[in-house]
Amino acid sequence: MRQLRREKEVKEAARREELSKKGTDSMNQEDSTKATEQRQKLQKMLKETLKKVALKKATEEKGGQQKEQIMKITKKKKAGKKRKPNDKEKNNEKESKTKKAATGIKKKTRPQGARVIPEATDGHGCDHKGLLDLKILPSDYLRNYMKVGGWLWNVPCRDCAKGRQGSHNKGDELDLSSRMPKKGKRDVGYYCNCGPVGHEMEDDHPDKAMYTCDLVLCMGCYERRKESMGRTSRRQK
């Protein structure tokens, strides 16, 4: 009896375990089925969304192309329909052409490469430059041009050569070489920059005479001319 009872208990325990296992498997299967269905549903929604986006983009592109075509057609129509001038505009155009033909005026143009000879802006410098337009004469420039055959060779300060009282002297005792500093570099006077241009020209050059100029002033004489110019301008006022 005991053995039969024990066998019965073992069989019942095995049956309960089997039932429990079947229930667990069934639940797992149901969960898996639900997850699969949910995943498929999400995939379907994603596909539908992508289709809608693609359709919208295609519609916009098509609409843009249609707009461009319409704009092109409109422009062509506008270009083809030019406004005809009215009678007043026609008369103005005829009068303008008649005036141009009657006058025959053409603008004078200076040939390319032609030299322009400068004119003095005041009467206190030379024929080419006013006093305030003269260029500074640095000592290194003077050193290069006072050599034999150079533009400033044996050229004195014009006012020093004439004398402060207006009496002429030989001019050779006031050679610009006396203005050269013993050391370093400094400004020693003012000059007309047409002088070196004329000096470099050939003797038969047509502009040589017009460019030739030997105006050089030391610093002191330049300042005296400047003071004289100021007094003259005040008297004129």
pLDDT in tens, 191-224: 998 988 888 889 899 888 888 888 999 888 999 9
Of residues 173 and 10, the one with the higher pLDDT is 10
Task: Tell me what pLDDT residue 152 has.
Answer: 82
Our CA dihedral for 66, 71, 73, 78, rounded to 10 degrees, sits at 170
| Residue type present at position 27 | M
**Residue range 144-154: mean pLDDT, rounded:** 81
> Quick one: tokens of 12?
């019942």
Count of C-beta atoms within a 10 Å radius of residue 180:
14
Minimal CA–CA distance to 194: which of 128, 121, 113?
Answer: 128
> Quick one: tokens of 87?
């009678």
> Quick one: tokens of 221?
């004489």
* CA 96 to chain CA centroid, nearest Å: 38
Percentage above 90 pLDDT, the chain: 5
| Residue type present at position 23 | G
Residues 153-199 pLDDT 10s: 888 888 888 875 444 444 343 466 666 776 777 888 899 989 888 88
**Cβ–Cβ < 8 Å for 194, 128:** yes
DSSP state of 204: T
Alpha carbon distance 54, 59 (integer Å): 9
